Amino acid sequence: MNRRHFLSLSAAALAAYGQQKPRRVGLIGTGWYGKSDLFRLLQVAPVEVVSLCDVDKTMLSNCADMVVERQASKKRPRLYADYREMLKEKDLDIVLIATPDHWHALPFLEACKSGADIYCQKPISVDVTEGLAMLNAARKYNRVVQIGTQRRSTPHLIEAREDIIKSGKLGKIAYVDIYCYYHMRAKDKPATPAVPAELDYEMWTGPAPMRPWNGLQHPRRWRAFEEYGNGIMGDMCVHMLDMVRWMMDLGWPTKISSTGGILIDRASVANIPDTQEATFDFGGVKVNWTHRSWGHPPDPKYPWGATFYGEKGTLKASVNSFDFEPLDKKQPSIHRDVKMELEEYPVDRTEKDLERHVAPAIRGHMKDLLAAIDKRSRPVADIEQGFISSASCILANLAMKTGRTLQYDPAKHIVVGDPEATRLLTRPYRKPWQHPDPKKV
């Protein structure tokens, strides 16, 4: 290729790139994972971050400073303390939602009405009725929605799905263990400080019950309290259950049961279980969850993951690796580790609090969302898939609470033969916030 031809091609490529108008992006929730998601999106697409929203003024300003450094235009985004003010502008192409779980549904519904496509962190909601309203709104307003269950975009897990499960190397799979043994439940006994001056705690609490401030709620440790989420079940099980459903093409579980409670750490202010088991019955496949925030994991290499038991072998899979062990010793074992892409994206090395091993999956998830937006199609972690996985975990907590095996009917939105459990599908909202009605979104 001669120099003149090369320059003409380069000019054409630059012109085409210049014609691609950057998508306008807004982020609601500028904490740890909000920034992780936003900055991965900036790495893979020509986007302009025009709006940021948070009830913590310091966190909001710090995020804006980082955006100025990272985005091509070097423009500072508009800053908001109320998501409603941000979304009423109706000038955003994509909205990212990375608030605590109790604040997912209402911003999501407003984002749908504003005409934006959405990337929403998991689990999609704190109760099942919220999730159904979110699904209905996404369909009504024809929004493309990606949920942050990014195991579906994790390169080595895509390989495990295709080359181990889909290829038949495991044979028939009838049982899967999913688990988390991280010591992640708060054990603090904090003195009660004053609410930080930069935090609007009334707005932070929003539709959730008003708990006295104890210093753990914000930032990041709100998962210690059932008022804001669904504990380790809603945080960690949702990822692994969703991964299994995706790998095996499973829909709704037919029955869900669960037992557990606070068995060890009863002195902490945390009110979520430190020990829990749940069984998700998919008919021919049983998926069993265990979390224990104390003691040793059975396999230190897989403290959070899934073990697929097939008639021809066993597959262990996690965010860090997978291992396939065939029953036939003449067949080779297969091991893969996560590739962190630090050479391709060197800024990942220094970004504060970034889960470097997860960054490639977030980038893949964002690319999948962008492709779906272009096609107006459903991405790999579409809102319906997020609803099924999130609701199943919420139902497991309800099964533990009621002490009964639950059978959810997604068509009628009831727990079959259990009026009490059906009522528990909807959490009360604190006034003046109004719980969304799935029929009126």
Please count the other Cβ atoms lying within 10 Å of the Cβ belonging to residue 226.
19
Please indicate, yes or no, whether residues 415 and 319 belong to a single structural domain of this protein: yes
Please indicate, yes or no, whether residues 142 and 189 belong to a single structural domain of this protein: no
96 three-state secondary structure: strand
Residue 161 lies in a domain: yes
Q: How many domains does the chain have?
A: 2
Q: How far is residue 433's CA from residue 427's CA, in Å, rounded to a whole number?
A: 12
Side chain identity at residue 122, one-letter code: K
Please indicate, yes or no, whether residues 107 and 225 belong to a single structural domain of this protein: no
Q: Look up residue 406 and give its DSSP letter.
A: B
Please indicate, yes or no, whether residues 87 and 104 belong to a single structural domain of this protein: yes
Do residues 92 and 50 make contact, with C-beta atoms less than 8 angstroms apart?
yes
Residue 257 lies in a domain: yes
Contact residues for 414 (Cβ-Cβ < 8 A; gap 6+): 408, 422, 425
Helix or strand run (H / E) with residue 47? strand 47-53
Please indicate, yes or no, whether residues 20 and 159 belong to a single structural domain of this protein: no
Please indicate, yes or no, whether residues 135 and 160 belong to a single structural domain of this protein: no
CATH code of residue 194:
3.30.360.10
- From 100, 120, 151, the end of a domain falls on 151
Residue 258 lies in a domain: yes
Please indicate, yes or no, whether residues 64 and 80 belong to a single structural domain of this protein: yes
CATH code of residue 119:
3.40.50.720
Measured between its terminal Cα atoms, the distance across the chain in Å is: 57
Please indicate, yes or no, whether residues 230 and 322 belong to a single structural domain of this protein: yes
Residue 2 lies in a domain: no
Please indicate, yes or no, whether residues 228 and 344 belong to a single structural domain of this protein: yes
Residue 369 lies in a domain: no
Residue 274 lies in a domain: yes
Please indicate, yes or no, whether residues 272 and 330 belong to a single structural domain of this protein: yes
Residue 407 lies in a domain: yes
Please indicate, yes or no, whether residues 139 and 159 belong to a single structural domain of this protein: no
Please count the other Cβ atoms lying within 10 Å of the Cβ belonging to residue 50.
23
Please indicate, yes or no, whether residues 207 and 230 belong to a single structural domain of this protein: yes
Contact residues for 342 (Cβ-Cβ < 8 A; gap 6+): 348, 349, 356
Residue 104 belongs to what domain range?
10-151
Tens-binned pLDDT, residue by residue, of the chain (441 aa) = 444 443 444 444 444 444 478 999 999 999 999 999 999 999 999 999 999 999 999 999 999 999 999 999 999 999 999 999 999 999 999 999 999 999 999 999 999 999 999 999 999 999 999 999 999 999 999 999 999 999 999 999 999 999 999 999 999 999 999 999 999 999 877 777 899 999 999 999 999 999 999 989 999 899 999 999 999 999 999 999 999 999 999 999 999 999 999 999 998 999 999 999 999 999 999 999 999 999 999 999 999 999 999 999 999 999 999 999 999 999 999 999 999 999 999 999 999 999 999 999 999 999 999 999 999 999 999 999 999 999 999 999 999 999 999 999 999 999 999 999 999 999 999 999 999 999 999
Residue 306 lies in a domain: yes
